[in-house]
Amino acid sequence: MTSSKRQMRLGAFIMATGHHVAAWRHPASQSDAGLNIDHYRELAQTAERGKFDLVFVADSPAGWERAKDPEALRRSSRGAHFEPVTLWAALSQVTSHIGFVATASTTYEDPYLLARKFASLDYISKGRAAWNVVTTGADVSKNFTIPGHPAHADRYERAEEFVDLVKGLWDSYEDDAFIRDKENGIYLDPDKVHQINHRGKFFTVSGPLNVGRPIQGYPVIVQAGASEPGRELAARTTEMIFTANQTLEDAQEFYSDVKGRLARYGRRPEELLISPGIFPVLGGTEKEAQENYDYIQSLIHPSIAWTILQRHYKGVDLSGYSLDDRAPPLPENTELNKSRLKLVTDLVERNNLTLRQFYLAVAGARGHRTVVGTPEQIADAMQEWFDNGAADAFNIMPPILPTGLTDFVDQVVPILRRRGLFRKDYEGTTLRENLGLARPANSFALARATRTAV
């Protein structure tokens, strides 16, 4: 029986060997995970066993490691990994309920091809696809034949047009366009197949798309940028937002700010789910959890530590500093990932960190919330945010994989369930049904219905 109490949504945010930068060195991790399909199959099935709503992979059309130092590169594990849509297409065949969130960039992808890929994934998974819309903070322009990485504002302007265009393409076929009447030889109703004839600032695309309307109408649209234009994009067009917050107050500010923007677009607060990340370091006791954390932190090589720091100090020469010096001020402006820079700046200033404390603070969760403790304490930390206007969902970021996810499913999920905060079984078969999100109407059908009604 479904509980009437408001339910938490859970996503498994999968980073091949685990989220911690040194995870691949841990005895429990799968060191070749990035290209090991059996490993991902196990993770998707574990998350589904725990009745998670979704699995999610981040992505960039480049290796994650942009270390200039050859020593750091030699010790980095994240350069080679699967492309998300093809990965999820395969795993949808060995699961039945869990949703699949694939990250794809509005800066570096093409709208027609992206619409086609995600519509196909939605059919292949029988309605379990979602697109994590990112503008790509990092400059990966050298992998593409373009003059350079567009500025932050330009990337978001393009993203706004991109998302609308993709939704338009998903409406190319109305839901009842296919007649498939063998006897009379009528396959489809041409009045229900549409060219979108889009002409915008960035794109000119006629359509129709060569895939039918996705099973969910549109795959669920997720967004993961928290700057001012990122929040606006989420409020206007997306249904779930992945975010990183350190403190309850910051998370509450973000939650109420983003929810407060929805009315302007004729949307209700529950039409956008807010999902902060959490990096849970588990132990049977508090002491054991801390030891587990200290051990994985001890696996970070100094060259990796400096690479992490340099990533935040873009354009700043750190060669005169030692790790025990107080962290100097971070650069004030960036054209890359604005919200994450603000988050780490606040973290450093609030806690008056040394450079060593700074890299240790972000080596695992990269700015997301870290909770080190017993399963009860992890559940408490989640419930605190869920009950206090800071989260509708959580992106669980296991430090080490596969064990970090298995432990969470076996030890934390039962506690959330006992507290009536999390489902015992899936409510539906599509990702939208499980997330409680409505299936969007086809814009052409809607326009015709409105014309007829007038």
Ligand X SMILES: Cc1cc2nc3c(=O)[nH]c(=O)nc-3n(C[C@H](O)[C@H](O)[C@H](O)COP(=O)(O)O)c2cc1C
Applying CB under 6 A, the residues found at the interface with ligand X are: 58-60, 103, 134-137, 224-227, 230, 242-244, 277, 337-339, 395
Name the residue type at position 115: A
Six-digit token pair at 121? 């994934």
Question: Under 8 Å CB-to-CB from 231, ≥6 apart: which residues?
Answer: 257, 258, 261
Q: What are phi and psi of 55, to 5 degrees?
A: -115, 150
- Please say which residue, 202 or 426, places its beta carbon nearer to ligand X: 202
- Please say which residue, 137 or 364, places its beta carbon nearer to ligand X: 137
227 is in an annotated binding site: yes
334 is in an annotated binding site: no
103 is in an annotated binding site: yes
Radius of gyration of the chain (CA): 22
Six-digit token pair at 377? 């304490």
> Least distance from C-beta 223 to ligand X, angstroms?
7
> Least distance from C-beta 100 to ligand X, angstroms?
14
- Please say which residue, 47 or 215, places its beta carbon nearer to ligand X: 47
Name the residue type at position 114: L
- Please say which residue, 216 or 339, places its beta carbon nearer to ligand X: 339
- Beta strands 129-134; 220-223: pairing state: parallel
- Beta strands 273-282; 369-373: pairing state: parallel
Which class for 49: exposed (0-12), middle (13-18), buried (19 or more C-beta within 10 A)?
middle
> Least distance from C-beta 39 to ligand X, angstroms?
19
Vertex 115 angle, CA 112 and 121, to 5°:
140
> Least distance from C-beta 166 to ligand X, angstroms?
16
Terminal CA-CA length for the chain: 43
Six-digit token pair at 406? 């298995």
> Least distance from C-beta 130 to ligand X, angstroms?
13
- Please say which residue, 245 or 406, places its beta carbon nearer to ligand X: 245
- Please say which residue, 7 or 135, places its beta carbon nearer to ligand X: 135
> Least distance from C-beta 340 to ligand X, angstroms?
6
- Beta strands 54-57; 186-188: pairing state: unpaired
- Beta strands 99-105; 54-57: pairing state: parallel
For 125-179, the DSSP string reads TTS-EEEEEE--SS--GGGTTSSSPPPHHHHHHHHHHHHHHHHHHHTSB-TT-EE
> Least distance from C-beta 132 to ligand X, angstroms?
6
- Please say which residue, 58 or 372, places its beta carbon nearer to ligand X: 58
> Least distance from C-beta 15 to ligand X, angstroms?
10
Number of H helices, E strands in the chain: 16, 13
Region class of 217: left (phi > 0), else alpha (psi between -120 and 50), else beta: left
Which class for 299: exposed (0-12), middle (13-18), buried (19 or more C-beta within 10 A)?
middle
- Please say which residue, 103 or 430, places its beta carbon nearer to ligand X: 103
Residue list for the binding site for FMN: 59, 103, 152, 156, 227
Which positions make up the binding site?
59, 103, 152, 156, 227
